[in-house]
């Protein structure tokens, strides 16, 4: 299982929770975590991402396609992101 995009996203959010790039990634993680919502995320948001953030986003989307958003590892990372964003 390749989870490095998830770990890199978590580190980015914990390091700088209020940056625009962190918030874009956080929104994507939250969207990918809700399969009933059809994973609705405006692809135009990718234009607001810098190239390395966009690569993380692609990695997160690949993890979703592989079913990794249902794992305990994803859920634990998401809880840490929630805590970091909340401050």
Both tokens of 39, joined, read 């994973």
Per-residue CA distances from 54 to 3, 28, 83 (Å): 16, 11, 23
pLDDT in tens, the chain (87 residues): 457 999 999 999 999 999 999 999 999 999 999 876 666 677 888 899 999 999 999 999 999 999 999 999 999 999 999 999 999
Q: Decide: pTM greater than 0.75.
A: yes
């Amino acid at each position: 299982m390749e989870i490095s995009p998830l770990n890199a996203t978590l580190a980015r959010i914990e390091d700088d929770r209020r940056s625009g790039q962190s918030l874009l990634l956080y929104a994507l993680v939250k969207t990918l975590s809700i399969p009933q919502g059809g994973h609705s995320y405006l692809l135009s948001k990718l234009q607001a991402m810098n190239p390395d953030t966009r690569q993380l986003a692609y990695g997160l989307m690949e993890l979703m396609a592989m079913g990794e958003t249902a794992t305990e590892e994803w859920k634990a990372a998401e809880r840490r992101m929630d805590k970091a964003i909340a401050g």
